[in-house]
Structures are given as structure tokens and as C-alpha cells.
Amino acid sequence: MTARVEVVPGRHLVASVDGVVVVVAHRDSTTLTAESEAVAVLDKVLEMVAEAASRETRRTGRAFARLASTWLMGREDEERVEFGMLTPGTRGLAVFLHGRVTAVLEGEGYREVLHGRDAGFSVDRVVSPAPGRAAAVFVDDGEPRDSLPRAGVWSLRDGRVPGSGAVMWMGDKPDTPAREVRAGPGGRSSRAETGRPPPRRNPPPMGQDRANFDSGSRRTSAPDASPTGIIVHGFKCARGHLNDPRVSFCVACGIRMEQLTCVLTAGVRPPLGVLLLDDGSSYVLDSDLVIGREPERSRQVGRDAQAIRIPDASGGMSRVHAEIRLLEWDVLVLDRGSANGTHIRPPGRPDWVRAAPGHPTVLEPGSQLLLGGRVFTFDSPHGR
């Protein structure tokens, strides 16, 4: 089963590792950082995923459920740990929910909603066969969700990002040539059958604090393990996370980068951050992007760049306005000869500087971009 994973923006933590999708609740009032408890919980969950994989010849989700239950029962603060997980396995889809998290499973003429908080301890189910259309898992914020968001928000290959939930779209890829920006998760839902008002719009997923991005705790370091990932060279932390060689602390787990590991290692590049749009939408920087009113016109799209179609009421956005390019560990912006230009404001600076058309400029984390009447902020944990 090949599923395409999409993340619903939000303040909690979402990870996709080797086909397994995990959401962890971040209930602190502060923004998610490497020190947040949710990150420690996610680390532990992924450790158990790896451990379960080493115990099962075929993945069923059972070994994970046993490990997770034992771990939770051994914790005094077990009710503070809230997470949900979807594991596609050989016998169907395993669903594990603990605390205020919800899973939505949908197939042809069928929908099932499972709530972690309804269970005495945890929800531990294998849904067989796996839902034909999609399976999603969300952290409950107020009223739990009972429907899927629309496809095409943004996808997550392997890694961890801030979010309130994740959807695994099964089967055929929905036909979404351009990722159209929408007003947050489920804003103006196209699915009317529930009769519910659309869910509340989430705040932008990240504040000033650095959130965590990670290429996932891959068990092997074989650089060609992922045919789609871009291979870069970096330093590995003691726990095996690949990092920009210029950082002092691992952006995935926060530990200091030991300089004795000063050997460049090849590996799949983790996402280099996110681009946050002024309406709270966000795009994970895991590939080049072409931004504009009709970005599909660009020849880069379909080769290795994603089209980001942005409506702009000001009329100042060109059809193909600008490109975001990922080069090794850097994020660059390139004006594509737009009529009104691409303006950059480095962090802490009062004024906008117009980028020379056709000349890529490296963006510092915290930089803002003005394209027509829309403002983007580049946020990344990979800053120096």
C-alpha cells in the first residue's frame, strides 16, 4: 500500500517515518521547541516503531501496540502523553490512539471515527482491509474532527513538522497539479455531508521558536534508500540525525553536535524549513517551489519543482513570480522577471530590498518575502 501523507497545519507535532504516521499533542502554551515534551514523546514513539520493526518480519502494528502499552503503563504521567499513530501493515491498517486524539477512516460508502479519549486506556485496532480512500489522525483541539480535510494542503515525505494532524491518502494520487492555498485546515470544506460548520482555523504553525525538522530515524544510512530524496552531505548527531554541517545543535533532537563526528556523511536531506503565508498556510520546504498566479506555466514544475498557486487581490502577483530553490542546506529565492519584483526583508530589518531578477539570493531564517500583495516568512531550524 502506498499512501501519500499530507499534514494539516497546527501547533502539535506530526511525523512520517517509513510509512508510519504519528501525531503527538503539544499542550504547552509555548511554541514547540526541541525541548518540548512532545518531542521527547515522539522520539520515544519512533524508537518503539524501530524496535517493533526489528521484532516483526511483517509489519502488523501488534508489536508496536505491545511496546507502547507497556511503556505507557510504566509512566506515572501516562495521561499526559497523548498521541495517535497509523501503521499500514500486511493485514490492514493498525490504529493506535492514546488520549485526546482522533482517527478518521474513510472508504467507498464508509466512514469510521475513533476517539482515543473514549477508550479505557488506548484504542488499539487493526482495520482490515485498510480504508480505501484515506485514513487520518488528529490531535483534538476542542471538538474532535469527524471528517477529512480536502486533499492537497501539503505533503510530507519522511520527517517531522508542526501540525495538528495528518492524512494518508490511499490508492490513486488525487489529481492536484498545483497546491492551491487555502485558509487553514479544512477552511471552506468541500465535504458537506457532516452538516458541521468548518473547523476553526488554526493559528500559523510556528512562532519565533524553532520547531523541529528531521529526516526521520531511518534505520539505515544507505543514501539511496529513498529514491525521491535529495542526497546531501552533513554531520550526524550521536543519535544519527543528519544536520547542516554549520549548526552546533542537532535540529531534530537538540543535542550538541559532537565535533568528533566531524565526518561528512551522505544522507537524505530533511526538509529545510517552512514557508508561512500571511493567512496561516504553510509549505514544507522539501523541494523547489514555483510561486505565482499560474505557476504551472513554469517549465521547472513537473521536473523537480512544485507549483504553488497564490491568489493575490492586489493584482501585483505575476503568473510565474518567483522560485524557491533548495541548494544543499540553503534556501534561495529567485525572482523570475516578475512585473513588480520580489522583495526581501532580512530578519530584524525595517525595509524591503528588491531582489535582482534572475539572481538567486540565500534566505536567512526569519526572512520575509513580498510578492505582489502577499507576504511569506521563511522559518527554519537549520539556521546558523
CB of 238 to Zn ion, least distance (A): 7
| 25-39 CB burial, b ≥16 within 10 A, e <16 | bbeeeebbbbebbbb
The interaxial angle of helices 37-55 and 62-73, nearest 10 deg, is: 140
CB of 123 to Zn ion, least distance (A): 30
For Zn ion, the closer CB: 239 or 246: 239
For Zn ion, the closer CB: 57 or 220: 220
CB of 239 to Zn ion, least distance (A): 4
- Tell me which residues in 102-141 interact with Zn ion (CB under 5 A): none
For Zn ion, the closer CB: 134 or 252: 252
Beta bridge partners of 266: 233
- Residues in CB range of 117: below 8 A, 6 or more apart: 99, 100, 101, 140
Characterize the bridge pairing of strands 83-89 and 92-98: antiparallel
For Zn ion, the closer CB: 249 or 352: 249
CB of 229 to Zn ion, least distance (A): 18
Residue with cell 539570493: 361
CB-based burial of residue 247 (10 Å sphere; 0-12 exposed, 13-18 middle, 19+ buried)?
Answer: middle
**Residues 228-267: x/- map of binding to Zn ion (CB under 5 A)?**
---------x-x-x--------x-xx--------------
CA separation, residue 92 to residues 126, 250, 359 (Å): 6, 35, 50
Applying CB under 5 A, the site for Zn ion has a residue count of 6
CB of 120 to Zn ion, least distance (A): 36
What value does the CA radius of gyration of the chain take, rounded to a whole number of Å? 20
For Zn ion, the closer CB: 239 or 297: 239
CB of 321 to Zn ion, least distance (A): 36
CB of 237 to Zn ion, least distance (A): 3
Phi, psi of 322 (to 5 degrees): -150, 165
Give dist(CA 163, CA 147) in Å, integer. Answer: 17
CB of 318 to Zn ion, least distance (A): 40
Give dist(CA 15, CA 266) in Å, integer. Answer: 22
- Tell me which residues in 302-331 interact with Zn ion (CB under 5 A): none
CB of 37 to Zn ion, least distance (A): 17
For Zn ion, the closer CB: 75 or 239: 239
10 contacts 136 by C-beta, under 8 angstroms: no
Is cis: bond before 227, omega within 30 of 0?
A: no
For Zn ion, the closer CB: 100 or 382: 382
- Tell me which residues in 63-102 interact with Zn ion (CB under 5 A): none
Strands (E), 199-312: 231-236, 242-243, 265-268, 274-277, 282-284, 288-292, 305-309
- Residues in CB range of 211: below 8 A, 6 or more apart: 31, 32, 33, 161, 162, 205, 379, 381
For Zn ion, the closer CB: 35 or 79: 35
| 155-172 CB burial, b ≥16 within 10 A, e <16 | bbbbbbbbbbbbbbbbee
Identity of residue 140: D
For Zn ion, the closer CB: 239 or 359: 239
Which residues in this chain contact Zn ion in the complex, by CB under 5 A?
237, 239, 241, 250, 252-253
